[in-house]
Chains A and B, each alone.
Chain A
Amino acid sequence: MENLKIIKDLFKDTPDLIIRPIKKRFNTVYIIFLETVSSGDRVNSYILNPLTLPSKNKLSIEKALSGPNLKVIDINDVEKYLCSGFTIILDKQTIYAVETKAELDRGIDEAKVEPAIYGPKDSLVENINKNIGLIKRRIKSSHLKIKDHTLGRYSKTSTSVLYIDNIAKVELVLEITKKLDSIDTDAITSAGELKQYLFNENINVFPPMKLTERPDTIISALLEGKIIILVDNSPFAIILPAVLADFINPTVDDYTSALNTNYLKVLRMICFILTIITPAFYIATTNYNQETIPGLLLMNIATQRFGVPFPSIVEAIIMLFVCELLRESDVRFASNYGSAVSILGALVLGESAVASGIVSPIMIIVIAITFVSSLMFNEVEINGAVRTWRYIYLLFASLLGLYGLTLAFIMMLINLCSYKVYNLSYMFPISPLDFSYLKETLLKVKRKKQDKRSKYLTDNVRKQA
């Protein structure tokens, strides 16, 4: 039994490998599976029972075996199938693989990172097949194509590229496929890890692709001509390409009327600006351009700052640092400790900080506006980009006042306009101006008027009659 020897050598020191010989007429059949990833019940009902029942004794092995997924495989694929929860049956020189995967993943849960009030509640899970199922449930068309890749020398992670063949641009699909094929690494364990391999031409803090856990977001991206990458063991899908407008305007806006949604869209855009420039604007106006502040307010600020030993820039940096600290500890800490962090945070940022003279009350208001505005964006990467630019603005404002703030704004504008994600400008749909995408992201019009896809994303622009 050469094949058995090869498998034994391959899985040496693997205590969960079970090899069970069964006498079948004049021959011995070997049943091999990894008990940690296979379901004992399925092995029993799909393999052991049929092969050991006297009634099925006369049938050939292939006919005797039950189970929905039965394959004849090569010895080179044995490792992959065994690790994926298949049971291998060695019958002389023939190798059968029967799917007996154990249910190691959780059930479909509610979206936690991107909740929606009126949208569907389901979200992706760690099982790639379930995720594809959630998408296929919504797009019942053979035009939805899936290209499978196996990534990672050791992890052998199943990765699928999804696109709609008559909407997505072929060049983009080929480029992504080429990128995936070129990845040669030990392991890919999540979508977050994979996306770092997909885009490295440009060093920019703004993220070039978006992660989502919502199947409905995936569907609307697919229908726009974008490409989705699903990674096994990751409850997030990668949407690419992604531009700034995608981060400011979530898909959940589709579930409410245009008039009401536009208010929120404008609010989000204001918050995006506010969260970046508020501390810098405060520093610039109070330290350099006091004439821009109404007299009474300026006097109040002066009174509140009386007794604070630090310059306002140091005060701002201390507060921003403490807030980042609290946010990070809140994210990392187990939820049981959440309330303790909140109470501590309230103490640090509240009256105690003011009473001890470390910061002024107005600075707490400034930082509160900054952080509350940033909570509008649930994407960690965009928050990271916003944080970096906040410090750049702060630096320029602390050196040059409102002039510095303007310089930093011009720098950011140049940076965003020159940033290209898969040949798409990051400021799209403003630059280049594209009304069809603008009507779906930055502003919203009636559903009936959203009749075209963007020509920058697809050649098939007609969406509805």
Chain B
Amino acid sequence: MKKTIILFACLLLSGCYNYKEVSDLAFVSSLALDYQNNNFNIILEIEENHKDNKYSSYILEGTGKTIEAAIQNASLSFNKDLYFINLNILLISKEAANNKLASILNYVSRDNNFSFNFNIALCDNPKEAIENIMQKEEIFGKYLSTLLKNTDSNTINIKLDNLLNNYLNENYDIILPIINIKEDTIIIDKAAIFKDNIIIDTLDEESLAIYNILLNNHRDYYLEIDNDIVFKTSYYQTSIYFKNNTLYIMPTLTGTFLESISHAPDKIVDKVNIKFNNEIENFINNLISLESDPLGLKRYTKNKKDIKYRINTNIILENKSLIYKGVSHE
């Protein structure tokens, strides 16, 4: 009997720990971190749902020696518990990324109040960005999360688990998208690449497209060749392997021309092939010169030296459909 009482007491007396009413939670949609003068400055975007099914958000700001202290400082005048599980985006300033990336990743991955599926991006003026979206009566975190998922643009979509995976893997250097505001609009057309956890360069939209192709991150890719002919890919698959001290990069792109090509399509396909080959070559050469490896090519080369690269692209034209034939009278 005693044993039963002790067993039940152990099981039940620990009850009610971590009890929280759902109406007492404040749902953090975005968290922005900056590091200035040995202090963390944070901005929290709190999402609210109203009974008329409308959503709104407001901002909390705080400063502290640590991220936790900054969050506590921000919630001093706030009557709800901050809930980070629904966090959509974590914005990190370049300064914080260069100096405190390890602390930030340590904090968000160890605290069980954070999930692993929020996006991470670099942004130097997060307050301006958040307020810009709030003016449009949208939630910044959700807006940005959708923007990063958009397959029409060639951005990169990095979530905490991807980032941690790359950060902890010696074969990879990390890469993060950069959020910019241009003419009152938020755009994500660049990404920062890191070398030894320090930002060393930025990639433009074209380079990001190549990056996505080489990692099979399926996004729409448009390749413009002379005479204003645009090749649009609908599917691509890149295989990379290492043989005889040579790294073979073999992307196969399936797509179609946006304009109707009535004569000598094979020649144009050859042109696409050459141009695409050059683009990849330039991208790889750029990474070699920067000594950064966001693609994780070290996985194949195993740190061997004097490696040769061989790029062999393959362009496949999609079969024309009956409707296409009917419309173009071919």
Binds B, one of A81-89, A191-199, A285-293, A317-325: A285-293
A305 and B12 CA atoms in complex are apart in Å by 27
Q: Give the Cβ gap from A108 to chain B, nearest Cβ, in Å.
A: 53
User: Contacts A291-B85, A295-B27, A300-B49 known; A286 to B12 CB distance under 8 Å?
Assistant: no
A311 contacts across to B, CB distance below 8 A: 21
**Which chain B residue has the least Cβ–Cβ distance from A299?**
B49
How many residue pairs, one in A and one in B, have C-beta atoms under 8 Å apart?
58
B23 contacts across to A, CB distance below 8 A: 302, 305-306, 308
**Which chain A residue has the least Cβ–Cβ distance from B51?**
A303
Chain B 1-39 interface mask (CB, 8 Å, partner A; 1/0): 000000000011011101111110101000000000000
Within 8 A of A (CB), among B79-108: 83, 85-86
A300 contacts across to B, CB distance below 8 A: 49
Q: Give the Cβ gap from B162 to chain A, nearest Cβ, in Å.
A: 20
A298 contacts across to B, CB distance below 8 A: 22, 25, 27, 86
A311 and B11 CA atoms in complex are apart in Å by 22
Q: Give the Cβ gap from A296 to chain B, nearest Cβ, in Å.
A: 8
Do residues B21 and A312 form an inter-chain contact, with CB atoms below 8 A?
yes
Q: A353 within 8 Å of B by Cβ?
A: no
**Which chain A residue has the least Cβ–Cβ distance from B29?**
A295
Name the contact of B49 in the complex, choosing from A303, A400, A407 (C-beta under 8 A): A303
A299 and B49 CA atoms in complex are apart in Å by 6
A326 contacts across to B, CB distance below 8 A: none
Within 8 A of A (CB), among B255-273: none
A42 and B50 CA atoms in complex are apart in Å by 79
Q: Give the Cβ gap from A255 to chain B, nearest Cβ, in Å.
A: 46
Main secondary structure of the interface of B (DSSP, over half): loop
Q: A208 within 8 Å of B by Cβ?
A: no
Q: B47 within 8 Å of A by Cβ?
A: yes
A304 contacts across to B, CB distance below 8 A: 51
Q: A207 within 8 Å of B by Cβ?
A: no
**Which chain A residue has the least Cβ–Cβ distance from B27?**
A299
Do residues A290 and B16 form an inter-chain contact, with CB atoms below 8 A?
no
A302 contacts across to B, CB distance below 8 A: 22-23, 25, 27, 49
Do residues B11 and A299 form an inter-chain contact, with CB atoms below 8 A?
no
Chain A 111-133 interface mask (CB, 8 Å, partner B; 1/0): 00000000000000000000000
**Which chain A residue has the least Cβ–Cβ distance from B55?**
A299
Q: A399 within 8 Å of B by Cβ?
A: yes
Do residues B19 and A288 form an inter-chain contact, with CB atoms below 8 A?
yes
Q: A404 within 8 Å of B by Cβ?
A: yes
Chain B 175-209 interface mask (CB, 8 Å, partner A; 1/0): 00000000000000000000000000000000000
B11 contacts across to A, CB distance below 8 A: 400, 407
A302 and B47 CA atoms in complex are apart in Å by 12
Q: A235 within 8 Å of B by Cβ?
A: no
Q: Give the Cβ gap from B87 to chain A, nearest Cβ, in Å.
A: 9
Chain A count of residues within 8 A CB distance of the other chain: 24
B27 contacts across to A, CB distance below 8 A: 295, 298-299, 302
A304 and B23 CA atoms in complex are apart in Å by 8
Name the contact of A287 in the complex, choosing from B20, B50, B83 (C-beta under 8 A): B20
Do residues A404 and B21 form an inter-chain contact, with CB atoms below 8 A?
no
Name the contact of B22 in the complex, choosing from A290, A400, A404 (C-beta under 8 A): A290
Within 8 A of A (CB), among B36-53: 47, 49-51
B86 contacts across to A, CB distance below 8 A: 295, 298-299
Do residues B21 and A290 form an inter-chain contact, with CB atoms below 8 A?
no
A306 and B22 CA atoms in complex are apart in Å by 9
Q: Give the Cβ gap from A291 to chain B, nearest Cβ, in Å.
A: 5
Q: B234 within 8 Å of A by Cβ?
A: no
Q: A401 within 8 Å of B by Cβ?
A: yes
B22 contacts across to A, CB distance below 8 A: 286-287, 290, 298, 301-302, 305, 312
Do residues B20 and A290 form an inter-chain contact, with CB atoms below 8 A?
yes
Q: B252 within 8 Å of A by Cβ?
A: no
Residue among B14, B21, B27 with the highest chain A CB neighbour number at 10 A? B21
**Which chain A residue has the least Cβ–Cβ distance from B112?**
A291
A288 contacts across to B, CB distance below 8 A: 18-20
Q: Give the Cβ gap from B140 to chain A, nearest Cβ, in Å.
A: 15
Q: B109 within 8 Å of A by Cβ?
A: no
A312 contacts across to B, CB distance below 8 A: 21-22
Q: B115 within 8 Å of A by Cβ?
A: yes
**Which chain B residue has the least Cβ–Cβ distance from A304?**
B51
**Which chain B residue has the least Cβ–Cβ distance from A287?**
B19
B25 contacts across to A, CB distance below 8 A: 290, 298, 302
Q: Give the Cβ gap from B175 to chain A, nearest Cβ, in Å.
A: 27
**Which chain A residue has the least Cβ–Cβ distance from B25?**
A302
Residue among A306, A311, A312 with the highest chain B CB neighbour number at 10 A? A306
A306 and B50 CA atoms in complex are apart in Å by 10
Q: Give the Cβ gap from B146 to chain A, nearest Cβ, in Å.
A: 13
Do residues A404 and B50 form an inter-chain contact, with CB atoms below 8 A?
no
Do residues B21 and A401 form an inter-chain contact, with CB atoms below 8 A?
no
Q: Give the Cβ gap from A211 to chain B, nearest Cβ, in Å.
A: 35
A290 and B18 CA atoms in complex are apart in Å by 11
User: 16 other contacts beyond A286-B21, A287-B19, A303-B50, with CB at 8 A cut-off?
Assistant: A287-B21, A290-B25, A291-B85, A298-B25, A298-B86, A299-B27, A302-B22, A302-B23, A302-B49, A303-B49, A305-B21, A305-B23, A399-B16, A400-B14, A404-B15, A407-B11
Q: List 25 A-B contacts (CB under 8 A).
A: A286-B21, A287-B20, A287-B21, A287-B22, A288-B18, A288-B19, A288-B20, A290-B22, A295-B27, A299-B86, A300-B49, A301-B22, A302-B22, A302-B25, A302-B49, A303-B50, A303-B51, A305-B21, A306-B23, A311-B21, A398-B15, A399-B12, A400-B11, A400-B12, A407-B11
Enumerate chain A interface residues (CB-CB to B < 8 A): 286-288, 290-291, 295, 298-306, 308, 311-312, 398-401, 404, 407
Enumerate chain B interface residues (CB-CB to A < 8 A): 11-12, 14-16, 18-23, 25, 27, 47, 49-51, 83, 85-86, 115
Q: Give 4 closest A-B pairs by Cβ, nearest first.
A: A399-B15, A295-B86, A305-B23, A303-B49
